[in-house]
Chain A
């Protein structure tokens, strides 16, 4: 918001400026001229008195030389004609004692005598004005020797009266000039401000009534005439502009009406499309739920098929063994009933029976182990609480417990972990994770090499613990990389592998220690698992 100063009318501004400038100029002129005149008059008076003093001094030379005060006194009376001189003193320097003493004096009529001024006599004899008079002292010289002094007291009342008169006249003249200037400035102001006021009233009328047909009249002042001409041009252009604006507004109104209709139509179409989208979205949700259900069912079927597949073999063997034992029992019972049972036949039956029972036992035991490992997959049963764990010590404990398996070959395990790194997490799940990873490397990655290298690197980054597990084994086959964490995914089906190890690791990482695990697919050789989990036990 702009800040405006105090507003002032042209009338006031013009009169004030003219009067102020005139007053200043007059003041300056009167002051300077009066000062100079006073100084000049004063100098003239002083010079006149000094000249009189010099004349008196010259005339007094002989009187002083011959000690004739009467003659000098008579001579001084002649200065009665000089009005400026009030008192004259002549002082003499004694020829023999050199002391200054009063010689003679003159006092103007009606002027009282003044005291002796011997104490005022001293060079450089500068005239000194005191109050209404001026003191002039001049030496009386004869042949270069000071014979005495002349003291004149001059009257300055005439000069002061002159100054007073001059000031009165100057001030009167200045005041008269100011009055004349005021009257003239009033006239000029009227000549300027009246047309401006008329123009202002005209503009206000136009602004109020919106009537741009009015035209400003001709004015005698050139600049104001140009202004009224410019205003007339402005009015005519504004009028034309307003007409154009009115026309444009009508057009815009029509366009708006059309636009509103179009907008309404588009809005209806949009609403319909929106409704259709909502319906589609709802159907999509239904499809999604259905797909999830199907996926669940498929996953369950797959899992059941896997379980069935894994359990089927030992149970089948158990059934085969028990069927064989049953057939043998039927044969031996028939022989026993027919009393054709021989000792050899019984002995072979016992051997076959033991063999079949061992088969049945092994098969059932294998089935039991499988079912036990299925139960381990459910890590939700874990109830261990969070503890402060030294991760370096934990890794070393795991390696110690697996020392026997590791030392079967010349495998090397490199640990890059700060010794004093403590985290708050669950120890058992971490131990199981590491054991499964190392076991997988030993069984699957290093099955064809005897000197594999496993690197376990632990770092802390932004409140997360990252375990970077790498081996230089044969790696994960490309066809199962994307399913490595799925259950029953194994490359050793029928060779003892259940395909639940990495699934168990995945469940332990994601559910037990609330982290995440990824398989780095960019690694060309071996495997590289990156496990990240919070170090303070919270997600």
Chain B
């Protein structure tokens, strides 16, 4: 019995160390993916042409969690997309759709926010605004762009039907890279 207890104690320490390492590495890995997503959001904006009236700033809108890509983009104050500077706008309430349509060029919805919206909410978003999500389900709901994790990389998926309805022009060079959903 004592032997079993000793063995457990010894292994428990090892298991604890393994778990902590796993958790740390997983946390680091998740942070890297978030960084990549934030970079993708920024880079995608460079290949998009928004319809007039164009705003003085390229406005990227996030819902106020400050845990996702917005965290990294917010820390970069001097970012520019093509010529206009990028400003990060935070919203608390997803129901302020009118305000979102007027204030945002790109709206980013992480998985948590995605779970709170439905197809009707997305349809209310203006065709002049690009909505970016993180899952294929988001595209199924009517989202335009999704940054989906594939292994250790992030891939861009675009809803082809939604793209044809959108007033935002995406450069063919970018389109050459993306995957369309549904195929």
The answer to whether B39 and A61 touch across the interface, beta carbons within 8 angstroms, is no
Give residues 125-183 of B contacting A (CB, 8 Å). Answer: 153-156, 173-174, 176-177
The answer to whether B177 and A63 touch across the interface, beta carbons within 8 angstroms, is yes
Is B122 an interface position by the 8 A CB rule?
no
The answer to whether A66 and B43 touch across the interface, beta carbons within 8 angstroms, is yes
The answer to whether B39 and A62 touch across the interface, beta carbons within 8 angstroms, is no
Is B71 an interface position by the 8 A CB rule?
no
For A66, the closest partner residue in chain B by CB is B177
**Chain A nearest Cβ from B105, distance in angstroms:** 18
Take A67-B36, A71-B176 as given contacts and tell me if A143 and B46 are in contact as well, using a CB distance cutoff of 8 Å: yes
A68 to B153, CA, bound (A): 9
Q: Can you offer 7 A-B residue contacts whose CB atoms are under 8 A? A: A62-B177, A65-B43, A65-B46, A66-B40, A66-B177, A67-B36, A68-B177
A95-139 toward B: CB 8 Å interface, digit per residue (1/0)? 110000000000000000000000000000000000000000000
**Chain B nearest Cβ from A97, distance in angstroms:** 11
Most buried by B among A63, A67, A75: A67
A contact residues around B177 at 8 Å (CB): 62-63, 66, 68, 71
For A61, the closest partner residue in chain B by CB is B173
The answer to whether B153 and A62 touch across the interface, beta carbons within 8 angstroms, is no
For A143, the closest partner residue in chain B by CB is B46
A62 to B43, CA, bound (A): 9
The answer to whether A62 and B40 touch across the interface, beta carbons within 8 angstroms, is no
**Chain B nearest Cβ from A147, distance in angstroms:** 10
Sorted nearest first, the 4 A-B pairs with minimum C-beta distance are A62-B173, A65-B43, A68-B177, A71-B177
The answer to whether B173 and A66 touch across the interface, beta carbons within 8 angstroms, is no
B contact residues around A95 at 8 Å (CB): 39
A248-268 toward B: CB 8 Å interface, digit per residue (1/0)? 000000000000000000000
**Chain A nearest Cβ from B40, distance in angstroms:** 7
Interface size class, chain A: 10 to 19
A63 to B174, CA, bound (A): 8
The answer to whether B176 and A62 touch across the interface, beta carbons within 8 angstroms, is yes
Take A95-B39, A143-B46 as given contacts and tell me if A66 and B156 are in contact as well, using a CB distance cutoff of 8 Å: yes
A183 to B87, CA, bound (A): 87
A contact residues around B173 at 8 Å (CB): 59, 61-62
Most buried by B among A62, A66, A75: A66
The answer to whether B35 and A62 touch across the interface, beta carbons within 8 angstroms, is no
**Chain B nearest Cβ from A462, distance in angstroms:** 123
Is B74 an interface position by the 8 A CB rule?
no
Give residues 36-91 of A contacting B (CB, 8 Å). Answer: 59, 61-63, 65-68, 71, 75
Known: A66-B40, A68-B155; 17 extra A-B contacts, CB below 8 A, are: A62-B47, A62-B173, A62-B174, A62-B176, A62-B177, A65-B43, A65-B46, A66-B174, A67-B36, A67-B153, A67-B154, A68-B177, A71-B176, A71-B177, A75-B176, A95-B39, A96-B35
A contact residues around B156 at 8 Å (CB): 66
For B43, the closest partner residue in chain A by CB is A65
For A69, the closest partner residue in chain B by CB is B153
A263-290 toward B: CB 8 Å interface, digit per residue (1/0)? 0000000000000000000000000000
B contact residues around A68 at 8 Å (CB): 155, 177
A59 to B171, CA, bound (A): 12
**Chain A nearest Cβ from B81, distance in angstroms:** 10
For A75, the closest partner residue in chain B by CB is B176
A contact residues around B40 at 8 Å (CB): 66
B93-104 toward A: CB 8 Å interface, digit per residue (1/0)? 000000000000
B contact residues around A63 at 8 Å (CB): 177
A377 to B98, CA, bound (A): 181
A68 to B154, CA, bound (A): 9
A contact residues around B155 at 8 Å (CB): 68
For A62, the closest partner residue in chain B by CB is B173
A96 to B32, CA, bound (A): 10
B32-73 toward A: CB 8 Å interface, digit per residue (1/0)? 000110011001001100000000000000000000000000
For B80, the closest partner residue in chain A by CB is A143
For A58, the closest partner residue in chain B by CB is B173
**Chain B nearest Cβ from A56, distance in angstroms:** 13
A31 to B174, CA, bound (A): 52
Give residues 17-35 of A contacting B (CB, 8 Å). Answer: none
For B81, the closest partner residue in chain A by CB is A143
For A63, the closest partner residue in chain B by CB is B177
B contact residues around A143 at 8 Å (CB): 46
**Chain A nearest Cβ from B83, distance in angstroms:** 10
B contact residues around A96 at 8 Å (CB): 35
B contact residues around A59 at 8 Å (CB): 173
